[in-house]
Chain A
Amino acid sequence: MRCVIGVLRVKCLFFAVYREILGTGELELELPPGARLAELIAVVRTRPGADALPLALVVAVNHEYAPGDTVLADGDEIAFIPPVAGG
C-alpha cells in the first residue's frame, strides 16, 4: 500500500555505456511532488561515476523521449538513452 504523502518515486533505467558508467542498470529515486525531469537528472549527476556522463542527455519518460521541463508523476519509468546504434 502506498501511504507516503508528498514523495514522488520514479524508476530510472540506465542502458549500455551509461549502465557501466554508473555501475547499475536501475535506481529507484525519490523527488518532491511536482518535480521536473531536469531535477531528476541533476540528482543522477550526483551519483558516483556520473561525471563521465555527457553534458547533453537524452531521456525517455514512460517510453517517449521527453524534454527537461517534463513534470514527473509517481511511478514514472525514466530511461537514460545513450546514442543509439541499432542495425
Chain B
Amino acid sequence: MYCVITAAPIDILEMMQHVRRDADGAVLLFSGVVRDHDGGRPVTGLRYEAYAEMASQKLTGICKDVSAQFEIGDIAVVHRIGELAVGEISVAIAVAAPHRDAAFKASREVIERLKREVPIWKRERYADGEEVWLDGTIPNPPTAG
C-alpha cells in the first residue's frame, strides 16, 4: 500500500506494476485529469495545494479502511500538487484484486472519500487570466467553531 502527495508527474503504469500480484485477476487504474473547462468557462490549468503530512495520513487511513471493506490485494493512491496543465493527471488510484467487482468498488470508495476528507485544495486558472480557489466540501467531522 502506498499513499503519496507529490509535486512530480504521476506515472500510473508504474503504480500498476507496484500493486499487481500473481493472485490478482484485476488491476483497476483510475486517473483524474485536468479538463479545459468548468461551468462553461475555458480553463488553462490548475494549481493544487495540500497539507501534505495530514493528507498522506488521511489517504493511508482511507486505504486501510477500504482494504478491510473489500476483497482486494494492494492499493496505491498518488495526488499531485503544484501547477498542472490541461490533460495532466492530478490523482491516480491503482487497485489490484482477485476479481474485478471488488476493485471497482474499492476505487470508487477511495476517490469519493478523498474528495470529502483529504486536505487538498485547487485553484483554477482561466483563459482570461483570472484565478479562483474552487469551492470545496466541508470535511465530515464537527466544526471547531
Contact = CB atoms under 8 A, between A and B. Distances in A.
Nearest to A45: B145
User: Which of B53, B91, B121 has the most CB atoms of chain A within a 10 A radius of its CB?
Assistant: B121
A15 B120 CA distance: 9
Nearest to A25: B49
Interface in A21-70: 37-38, 41, 56-60, 63, 65-68, 70
Contacts of A60: 51, 54, 119
User: Which of B49, B54, B145 has the most CB atoms of chain A within a 10 A radius of its CB?
Assistant: B145
Given A17-B133, A63-B53, A63-B54, A86 B122 contact: yes
Report the contact-size class of chain A (Cβ under 8 Å from the partner).
20 to 34
Contacts of B141: 58, 65-67
Contacts of B116: 84
Main secondary structure of the interface of B (DSSP, over half): mixed
B54 A85 contact: no
B61 to A, nearest CB: 10
Contacts, number: 98
Contacts of A20: 133
A87 interface: yes
Given A66-B144, A82-B133, 15 more contacts: A15-B49, A56-B143, A56-B145, A57-B143, A65-B139, A66-B141, A68-B143, A79-B51, A81-B51, A84-B118, A86-B50, A86-B118, A86-B120, A86-B122, A87-B91
Interface of A: 13, 15-17, 20, 37-38, 41, 56-60, 63, 65-68, 70, 79, 81-87
